[in-house]
Chains A and B, each alone.
Chain A
Amino acid sequence: MHHPVISPVREPLVQGRKSYHQITEDICSPTERVPSPAWVIGFLISAATAVFGIACFVITVWVGIGSWNLNRTIGWGWDITNFVWWIGIGHAGTLISAILLLFRQKWRTGVNRAAEAMTIFAVICAGMFPIFHMGRVWLVMFILPYPNTRGPLWVNFNSPLLWDVFAISTYFTVSLLFWYTGLVPDFATVRDRAKGIRKKVYSTLAMGWTGAAKHWQRHESLSLVLAGLATPLVLSVHTIVSFDFATSVIPGWHTTIFPPYFVAGAIFSGFAMVLTLMIITRKVLGLEEYITVGHIESMNKIIVLTGSIVGVAYLTELFIAWYSGYIYEQFAFYNRALGPYWWSYFGMMTCNVISPQFFWSKKLRRNIAFTFVLSIFINLGMWFERFVIIVTSLHRDYLPSSWNMYSPTWVEVGIFVGTLGIFFTLFLIFVRVAPVVAIAEIKHVLKSSGDQYTGTEADPKYKDYFIEKRNKGVDGIEHHDEAHH
């Protein structure tokens, strides 16, 4: 016997006693105003950084991969580190929009739109690294399986690197479709408020949406199935990324723990990036009543969970290296922690294992400034993790004669900084042209999550109604508070 899910003690997700119309006003208005000076400055800095990054890509293509510091021993460096880092960041968007939808977590409605946008932009940034790492980027179509004139030779379907091509292109496509389909009704809302040229643009974007009952029914059905598809998809993407390493015979990479460890790490880093972005966005756009401290606390709970999984995975790796009795594995881990790249291992351990443990404290979970600082630490820590896995495993291999060190050139650093510029440029454009919070979804949960209906501040008439409903139970029989098991 279950009580109805509506609870007078549950923390409201929408504050400020919003009416439906007020929700529309609050969320649409940032797209209708002249951009603020803060936005313009942010956009110019991001765009300039993006242009610098593109220049570094051009240098890479013009000069060749020799403009990077990769060498015979260390064939993967900042490029693949950044690739895995960006892909991981993308995972939080899909977790919020798909997995939390299946788990019926209503707090996802406040942040899903922006998190999905973040996913798409992060995957765009990620995809550039392996493509440009190929060197001869004009031959990029060789990664696609098509009956070509070279034999016909085919791609190697047994290779995890090819699985990555399929995984990431599928992930990008499905995320984009999921995100855009969710945006269509909200674009219609913007369209019906707009005039002149904006009306024309948003009419095209809204695809002719009217809000008819049958359309809503199909829309709901589509969203649910896409969520069901995206859930195993997101788990598969980082699993396959981990196969890039795990199916090789490099000590430190060749471990079966990699898939779950990479997926947990991806979600961990993605939530850190969502928090970094959301804490700024909610402030700048004045959306504190939709992206509440309660939302931030929920995300911090996921941070402490996934951060702890990652911590356990690090310790398991160390234990298994010792327990295996395999000297090369043992050396790889000794070298990670105490070799010349000890600082990256130390950074990884501090930022990823120790720092999230602060979130066991409710007070710190609900402290916005603290959360913001910690989210930056986690972003950094997860970058270190990928650097540790890639560079420290490679730089001292089986043959001591080929041991080497690696530090990036300014071109490699420039490309990474440039992808940050591209990411923030795209995100800043997004917050100007699209509703940052899913308008229709917020309205849908208003009556169960608005602060006039639920929580300690609820309007007494609604409070009595819910208490009566709860005590009666779904079958209308009085239950009060006895145990039902």
Chain B
Amino acid sequence: MKKVLFGLYNDDTELIDAIHGAKEAGLEIMDVYTPFPVHGLDDAMGLSESRLHQAGFVFGALGLLTALGVMSWVFTRDWPIVFGGKPYFSFPAFVPITFELTVLFSAVGMVITFYVVCGLGPSAEAKVLHDRITDDKFCLAFDTTNMSQGDVEKYAAFLSRSGAAETHTKTI
């Protein structure tokens, strides 16, 4: 359980300014929640680039090798059949299925990776701080679980100073 202090801003530009302000003031941000992907948020928070596309490449390569491997094995080793006088290993005819499986493995693998690394799933509990965050409020949250009363007041003062329209606390 975490005790969270959070401020709700009415505009994404105010949120970005507040993040910069919090960093300058040396405040430790727990997370930021927004109703849509905000341009420039990654830079402001100093998030490193997502490596999801690398997972996509690995899964795609796996699909390519699976398709080529299985088709070659079936047609040259397991059950060779002559189709229209063509060689057993007829590579051009293997291209369409190889392509499709590359795409399939890559897409399915990436989507599964996405849900796993984000901890999302049908039974995942949404730790919603405020119902308007998925609507029109931009949320800057601080973890105050182990903070002294004085520190909490310092964080709360920062939120109101930086233009937060509302400030709340919630235990999630």
Closest residue of B by beta carbon distance from A243: B96
List the A side residues contacting B152 at CB < 8 Å: none
List the A side residues contacting B50 at CB < 8 Å: 217-218, 220-221
Contact with B along A212-243 (1 / 0, CB 8 A): 11111111111011100110110010001001
A208 B32 Cβ-Cβ under 8 A: no
B32 A225 Cβ-Cβ under 8 A: no
B136 A154 Cβ-Cβ under 8 A: no
Interface of A is mostly: helix
List the A side residues contacting B96 at CB < 8 Å: 160, 163, 166-167, 236, 240, 243
Asked if B97 is an interface residue, CB under 8 A from chain A, the answer is: yes
B107 A189 Cβ-Cβ under 8 A: no
List the B side residues contacting A221 at CB < 8 Å: 50, 52-53
**Chain B interface residue number, banded:** 35 or more
B136 A24 Cβ-Cβ under 8 A: yes
Residue among B38, B90, B107, B120 making CB contact with A177, cutoff 8 Å? B107
A236/B41 contact (C-beta < 8 A), A157-B74, A173-B108 known: no
A211/B56 contact (C-beta < 8 A), A20-B35, A232-B103 known: no
A229 B106 Cβ-Cβ under 8 A: yes
A158 B136 Cβ-Cβ under 8 A: no
List the B side residues contacting A169 at CB < 8 Å: 104
Partner-binding segment picked from B78-86, B142-150, B153-161: B78-86
Asked if B110 is an interface residue, CB under 8 A from chain A, the answer is: yes
Give Cα A217–Cα B52 distance, bound, in whole angstroms. 10
Contact with B along A136-154 (1 / 0, CB 8 A): 0000000001000001111
A184 B34 Cβ-Cβ under 8 A: no
Asked if B31 is an interface residue, CB under 8 A from chain A, the answer is: yes
List the A side residues contacting B104 at CB < 8 Å: 166, 169-170, 173-174
Asked if A406 is an interface residue, CB under 8 A from chain B, the answer is: no
Closest residue of B by beta carbon distance from A203: B126
Asked if B1 is an interface residue, CB under 8 A from chain A, the answer is: no
Closest residue of B by beta carbon distance from A440: B36
Give Cα A19–Cα B120 distance, bound, in whole angstroms. 29
B37 A166 Cβ-Cβ under 8 A: no
B136 A192 Cβ-Cβ under 8 A: no
Tell me the count of chain A residues lying within 8 A, CB to CB, of chain B: 66
A210/B79 contact (C-beta < 8 A), A21-B135, A217-B42, A217-B47 known: no
Asked if A444 is an interface residue, CB under 8 A from chain B, the answer is: yes
Give Cα A204–Cα B96 distance, bound, in whole angstroms. 37
Closest residue of B by beta carbon distance from A19: B136
Contact with A along B9-38 (1 / 0, CB 8 A): 000000000000000000000011111111
Per CB-CB distance, the 7 closest pairs between chain A and chain B, nearest first, are A208-B124, A20-B136, A440-B36, A158-B93, A221-B50, A21-B136, A443-B36
Chain A residues with a Cβ under 8 A of chain B: 19-21, 24, 145, 151-154, 156-158, 160, 162-163, 166-167, 169-170, 173-174, 177-178, 181, 184-185, 188-189, 191-193, 203-222, 224-226, 229-230, 232-233, 236, 240, 243, 439-441, 443-444
Q: List 6 A-B contacts (CB under 8 A).
A: A21-B136, A157-B93, A192-B133, A208-B119, A211-B35, A226-B111
